[in-house]
A and B are shown apart, each in its own frame.
Chain A
């Protein structure tokens, strides 16, 4: 371990670190533009110059590996003078337009120019001007401001895995662009905005709407996919202005997917802000009291078999718990939180969560993807898989449609039959799984909606049993969920009771008019026509498919408007916080159900959210610990079954519009137009 002295402090660091990283370990910050922890080193901005003893010139600390006996000075006259010079060079061509620049107030160049810049310019020549480039509906460009750090170029190549941005020309004429100014085709493209140290790449939907210092910043979690990325919601008044990622090494590192970032404008449109009641076929605004009365009248005299409740994709665990308690009080067993009709094995927790954890992907040594397209279903997890893939020596097998996943894989088969061939040791991938210590299998939602689900899962369990996928240190069986409320719903037991009906059966019963009453808690992702004739209560925040067929609508809160608990696909319990107030008369969802229970006459015991959370912990003790993942290495027993050759039916057709919020979002509609409709490459059917 080399020892070196930085600013008089002796440090001993790992071999292979750079001077900049070593300085960070002792809390010395060196200014930088092009260097980024998670990207390759470019060393082209020269802002991180430091003085090194015995070196005639200052060295770029981001690119210089530490050596034994180095003496580094980061604040000496020579180092500071070098940085002053670099800053002066950077500002030769950078426009002084901070007052009209979107990055103003959160700009690295602005901050560092304050620290290292001169107060006047010595250059009298004209500044260079660069034409703006089109990069799609998410990234706006002001290329005159670009300082050529190439962070965006490295990000799209290394992390996003779509080599689309490049630097054309040379010297002063260097320009950052995509080929023929095509839009950036990546689910992670919004991150280049965060990476850009100046205002060259800015957030297009947020452009010129707010200043960073006038925003309220709320740390919360994302609900647009089951990853549960850590986000920061920036709001002004009652409006969510933008969503930014928050550092979380266990989940999203510092990236978030485009849907999580840019569908926030959907929170402003199509909102349900007052209770609505259908009168003579038309929905009319009403009061809470009237709406509750109608529901009460409809409930009286019904057999519990004639009642059903479905939970949607964006619902918090508190509401699920309260609804479950309410329904069990009136004896209803027709409950389901799997509105896509998937038949997930809920007998044991490890059979429906992402056991290896997202961090575990980094440690794994081979991967089998089954009926999943992680690039669409969980872009953050896909980026992690790519990160592991780039480290090398990583075999990936795929059963299902051959998607462009940004990494190479062996395509085993298009249909689920590939599982049989691996289990029967006919495919070489069996040996790969058998011989590795940390093998991973990722099972997508399309497996659970497949007609042959039980046979596939039983064969998979047998495969886990025969190979080394589950051992005492490692559980490599992973289910990749696509919606934020699914794991929480199953954890709280919001699944059909002993004689209860599942989603599919509920919908069939509704079509036959055997059901008289359906309670939809934010449930929209199913064929709503089937429940057209049944009395439907829709509780949610957006007027979408569910609200269209509803007879009574109870306005609830979106994820930014309430404190709630979500469980991500890893089984990690996370708390979301309230950033803004809900519109109009909308109320927090768990309170609505509790109030309704009082009207109906089966009062629930709890009055505060803490009491609900205690009730949740009593129902399932995982809710007692926030942010924790439980290791479960219990073995599965399976059997070899015949698997039919029906292809998988993937849950995500259009990545940009998968839930009520993203369907109401104008930005997501533009993305859909840009990527999914015109471009055949993107549409997967």
Chain B
């Protein structure tokens, strides 16, 4: 679990880029007048996307923007573990270590990350390239074990596959996101077991044309009876 308090080293100031500022205005507008404070989570997220992490000046900036007490913004920022309160590497490797991933061998994935990067959970490599953290369920258990790197999911990992992913990230190559063993979505490994027919030439079990004709007939009948009244 990452440290839930503000970082010891903080930048002097924070302000949205022009683009993000106009985006923030649009986000605030989504909420009714007097309820601007509701925009605190999207704005903190926006700040994190801009800087990579949520700094003290960012919290103060957002509090000022939404006219809410700064402690309330801090409460939100510390409540959600997805907000990084410490400076973070370019690639944030978030390994899920919950039960389904553990059953499918996430301990090997963790071992790979630690071996390859030489860091522990909650740490950043010296070149500020990678940060490693342990997260709770990422919501992709069907393709466990799962690792989220920034916003992308890498699934069905093993020690070797994770090692390849890291190598490619280091070299700056593009990697196909999703299943690493070329599974289609979350369908079973290997051949399909269900839905084998070609969906374009499936024979519907109901006579759709007849059903449509029935429906139109009934509708007509109804409108006639209404007209009589």
CB interface residues, A 267-309, toward B, < 8 Å: none
B74 within 8 A of A: yes
How many cross-chain pairs have Cβ atoms below 8 Å apart between A and B?
Answer: 33
A164 within 8 A of B: yes
Q: Decide if B4 touches A166 in the complex (CB within 8 Å).
A: no
CB interface residues, A 139-184, toward B, < 8 Å: 163-170, 173, 177-180
Chain A: which residue is nearest B75 at the CB level?
A166
Binary per-residue interface labels of chain B (45-73) against chain A in the complex, 1 for a CB within 8 Å, 0 otherwise: 00000000000100000000000011110
A residues near B4, Cβ cutoff 8 Å? 168-170, 173
Interface size for chain A: under 10, 10 to 19, 20 to 34, or 35 or more residues? Answer: 10 to 19
- Given the complex of chains A and B, what is the CA–CA distance between A355 and B5 in angstroms? 51
- Given the complex of chains A and B, what is the CA–CA distance between A293 and B101 in angstroms? 96
Please name the 10 residue pairs, one residue from A and one from B, whose CB atoms are nearest each other, closest first.
Answer: A163-B69, A166-B71, A168-B78, A169-B4, A179-B71, A166-B75, A170-B79, A169-B78, A179-B70, A168-B75
User: Counting chain B CB atoms within 10 Å of each CB, which of A163, A166, A167, A179 scores highest?
Assistant: A179
Q: Decide if B75 touches A167 in the complex (CB within 8 Å).
A: yes
- Given the complex of chains A and B, what is the CA–CA distance between A167 and B79 in angstroms? 9
- Given the complex of chains A and B, what is the CA–CA distance between A163 and B70 in angstroms? 8
User: Counting chain A CB atoms within 10 Å of each CB, which of B56, B70, B71 scores highest?
Assistant: B71
Q: Decide if A164 touches B5 in the complex (CB within 8 Å).
A: no
CB distance from A182 to the nearest CB of B (A): 9
Q: Decide if A168 touches B5 in the complex (CB within 8 Å).
A: yes
Chain B: which residue is nearest A165 at the CB level?
B71
B residues near A179, Cβ cutoff 8 Å? 70-71, 74
- Given the complex of chains A and B, what is the CA–CA distance between A170 and B5 in angstroms? 12
CB distance from B190 to the nearest CB of A (A): 41
Give 5 CB contacts A-B under 8 Å: A163-B72, A164-B71, A166-B71, A166-B74, A180-B6
A residues near B1, Cβ cutoff 8 Å? 173
CB interface residues, B 58-114, toward A, < 8 Å: 69-72, 74-75, 78-79
A residues near B5, Cβ cutoff 8 Å? 168
Excluding A165-B71, A169-B4, A177-B71, 19 further A-B contacts by CB distance (< 8 Å) are: A163-B69, A163-B72, A164-B69, A164-B71, A166-B69, A166-B71, A166-B74, A166-B75, A168-B5, A168-B74, A168-B75, A168-B78, A168-B79, A169-B78, A170-B4, A170-B79, A179-B70, A179-B74, A180-B6
A residues near B75, Cβ cutoff 8 Å? 166-168
CB interface residues, A 160-218, toward B, < 8 Å: 163-170, 173, 177-180
CB distance from A320 to the nearest CB of B (A): 45
- Given the complex of chains A and B, what is the CA–CA distance between A166 and B78 in angstroms? 11
Binary per-residue interface labels of chain B (1-13) against chain A in the complex, 1 for a CB within 8 Å, 0 otherwise: 1001110000000
CB distance from A220 to the nearest CB of B (A): 36
CB distance from A471 to the nearest CB of B (A): 35
Binary per-residue interface labels of chain B (213-226) against chain A in the complex, 1 for a CB within 8 Å, 0 otherwise: 00000000000000
- Given the complex of chains A and B, what is the CA–CA distance between A163 and B69 in angstroms? 6
B residues near A177, Cβ cutoff 8 Å? 71
- Given the complex of chains A and B, what is the CA–CA distance between A179 and B74 in angstroms? 8
- Given the complex of chains A and B, what is the CA–CA distance between A173 and B80 in angstroms? 12
CB distance from A390 to the nearest CB of B (A): 15
Q: Decide if B71 touches A163 in the complex (CB within 8 Å).
A: yes
CB distance from B115 to the nearest CB of A (A): 29
B residues near A169, Cβ cutoff 8 Å? 4, 78-79
A residues near B69, Cβ cutoff 8 Å? 163-164, 166
Q: Decide if B79 touches A178 in the complex (CB within 8 Å).
A: no
Chain B: which residue is nearest A162 at the CB level?
B69
A residues near B6, Cβ cutoff 8 Å? 180
CB distance from B178 to the nearest CB of A (A): 31
Binary per-residue interface labels of chain A (49-90) against chain B in the complex, 1 for a CB within 8 Å, 0 otherwise: 000000000000000000000000000000000000000000
- Given the complex of chains A and B, what is the CA–CA distance between A165 and B71 in angstroms? 7
- Given the complex of chains A and B, what is the CA–CA distance between A173 and B4 in angstroms? 8
- Given the complex of chains A and B, what is the CA–CA distance between A166 and B63 in angstroms? 14
CB distance from A176 to the nearest CB of B (A): 10
A residues near B70, Cβ cutoff 8 Å? 179
- Given the complex of chains A and B, what is the CA–CA distance between A415 and B5 in angstroms? 46
- Given the complex of chains A and B, what is the CA–CA distance between A168 and B6 in angstroms? 11
Chain B: which residue is nearest A167 at the CB level?
B75
Chain B: which residue is nearest A173 at the CB level?
B4
CB interface residues, B 162-219, toward A, < 8 Å: none
CB distance from B37 to the nearest CB of A (A): 11
- Given the complex of chains A and B, what is the CA–CA distance between A109 and B6 in angstroms? 32
- Given the complex of chains A and B, what is the CA–CA distance between A164 and B1 in angstroms? 27
CB distance from A143 to the nearest CB of B (A): 13
A residues near B78, Cβ cutoff 8 Å? 168-170
- Given the complex of chains A and B, what is the CA–CA distance between A177 and B75 in angstroms? 10
B residues near A180, Cβ cutoff 8 Å? 6, 56
B residues near A165, Cβ cutoff 8 Å? 71
CB distance from A439 to the nearest CB of B (A): 27
- Given the complex of chains A and B, what is the CA–CA distance between A179 and B70 in angstroms? 7
- Given the complex of chains A and B, what is the CA–CA distance between A642 and B145 in angstroms? 82
CB distance from B40 to the nearest CB of A (A): 13
CB distance from A49 to the nearest CB of B (A): 26
Binary per-residue interface labels of chain A (8-22) against chain B in the complex, 1 for a CB within 8 Å, 0 otherwise: 000000000000000
Binary per-residue interface labels of chain A (560-587) against chain B in the complex, 1 for a CB within 8 Å, 0 otherwise: 0000000000000000000000000000
CB distance from A282 to the nearest CB of B (A): 54
- Given the complex of chains A and B, what is the CA–CA distance between A167 and B74 in angstroms? 9
CB distance from B52 to the nearest CB of A (A): 21
A residues near B72, Cβ cutoff 8 Å? 163, 166
- Given the complex of chains A and B, what is the CA–CA distance between A177 and B78 in angstroms? 12
- Given the complex of chains A and B, what is the CA–CA distance between A295 and B96 in angstroms? 88
CB distance from A150 to the nearest CB of B (A): 11
- Given the complex of chains A and B, what is the CA–CA distance between A164 and B63 in angstroms? 13
CB distance from B206 to the nearest CB of A (A): 43
CB distance from B105 to the nearest CB of A (A): 28
- Given the complex of chains A and B, what is the CA–CA distance between A178 and B71 in angstroms? 7
CB distance from B80 to the nearest CB of A (A): 8
B residues near A164, Cβ cutoff 8 Å? 69, 71
